[in-house]
Amino acid sequence: MTDEIKHYATGSVIPLGDGFTGKSVLSRLIIDPKLSDEKLNHILLRTRKSYNIEIEFSSEEIITEDQPVITTLQFYVFPGQRQKISEKSTTFDEILDFFDCFPVLLKVSVLLLIYDVTKETTLQSLEMWLRFALVKDWIYKDTLIILVSNKTDLEPANDDTINLVKDTIYGYIQDHELPVEKEQIKSIKTSCVRMEGIEELRKMALEWIAERGIRGVGIRDIENLGEKEKKE
Ligand SMILES: Nc1nc2c(ncn2[C@@H]2O[C@H](COP(=O)(O)OP(=O)(O)OP(=O)(O)O)[C@@H](O)[C@H]2O)c(=O)[nH]1
Ligand SMILES: [Mg+2]
């Protein structure tokens, strides 16, 4: 009977950060970290500025507390653009207005705060993005916050800066009296070009969601159930 029970866990992953920091590319690589060089180049060169929500899913079986859990990451990637640049372009706020009713956006499992190490302004903007997530009540006791220093192939990320930003994030969390531990604020250095940090980031998100995501139990494997019924 135990064999027929499957454990599931699912959670939303929301990357936030300015335009051109790598939210779309990073998300596409995290869901498919073993991709070929050809596909990597295609993603790097062909990913265009986002004007809409991009939704990506990826599942993997994770062993947690000696139990296999089929864990699904649900990525909801928004445009970083907040100012309207033309009549036809849609902004982050316009897209979000539309999707605000999504149940997955009520509680976010993993919040990625992404900046481009070569662009100081994208680091400064993280305060605005974090405030935004706080106002929306996205962060709760089971949210993992990861500060992502992206494009490290172009410039190294500064450890002092990373620690300072993590402390600032925790300061905001405390000001809002949220039940989030300091250990729930992590950081990672990534390069999409060199595929550095991608596997680790995927693992961090998967393991977190396997343990702290929305858990469920599937009743029976349909195939096995069919076999069993035939025998009876
Ligand atoms: N050198 C380098 N370029 C990167 C890296 N990650 C992403 N890029 C490039 O940065 C550009 C922007 O990446 P996107 O993923 O489209 O950025 P975004 O944050 O989704 O941007 P918006 O959709 O405008 O919000 C693309 O040309 C990517 O190929 C990286 O690690 N290193
Ligand atoms: Mg994008």
50 lines ligand 1 (CB under 6 A): yes
User: Which of 231, 218, 220, 225 is closest to 69 using CA atoms?
Assistant: 218
From ligand 2's centre to the CA of 53, what distance in Å? 9
From ligand 2's centre to the CA of 167, what distance in Å? 27
Note the pTM of the prediction, 2 decimals.
0.92
Look up the CATH architecture of domain 2-231: 3-Layer(aba) Sandwich (3.40)
Q: What integer pLDDT is reported at residue 194 of this predicted model?
A: 96
| Atom of ligand 1 at shortest range from CA of 150 | 31
pLDDT in tens, the chain (232 residues): 445 688 999 999 999 999 999 999 999 999 997 899 999 999 999 999 888 889 999 999 999 988 999 999 999 999 898 888 888 788 888 888 877 777 777 789 999 999 999 999 999 999 999 999 999 899 999 999 999 999 999 999 999 999 999 999 999 999 999 999 999 999 999 999 999 999 999 999 999 999 999 999 886 555 555 555 555 4
**Contact criterion met (CB below 8 Å) for 143 and 184:** yes
Q: What integer pLDDT is reported at residue 232 of this predicted model?
A: 47
Ramachandran angles phi, psi of 34, nearest 5°: -100, 30
User: Which of 204, 127, 149 is closest to 21 using CA atoms?
Assistant: 149
| Atom of ligand 1 at shortest range from CA of 47 | 16
Q: What integer pLDDT is reported at residue 101 of this predicted model?
A: 76
Q: What integer pLDDT is reported at residue 222 of this predicted model?
A: 53
Question: Where are the domains positioned within the chain?
Answer: 2-231
Q: What integer pLDDT is reported at residue 84 of this predicted model?
A: 82
Q: What integer pLDDT is reported at residue 29 of this predicted model?
A: 96
**Contact criterion met (CB below 8 Å) for 69 and 62:** yes
With both helix axes pointing from N to C terminus, report the angle between 37-46 and 23-30 in degrees, rounded to the nearest 10: 160
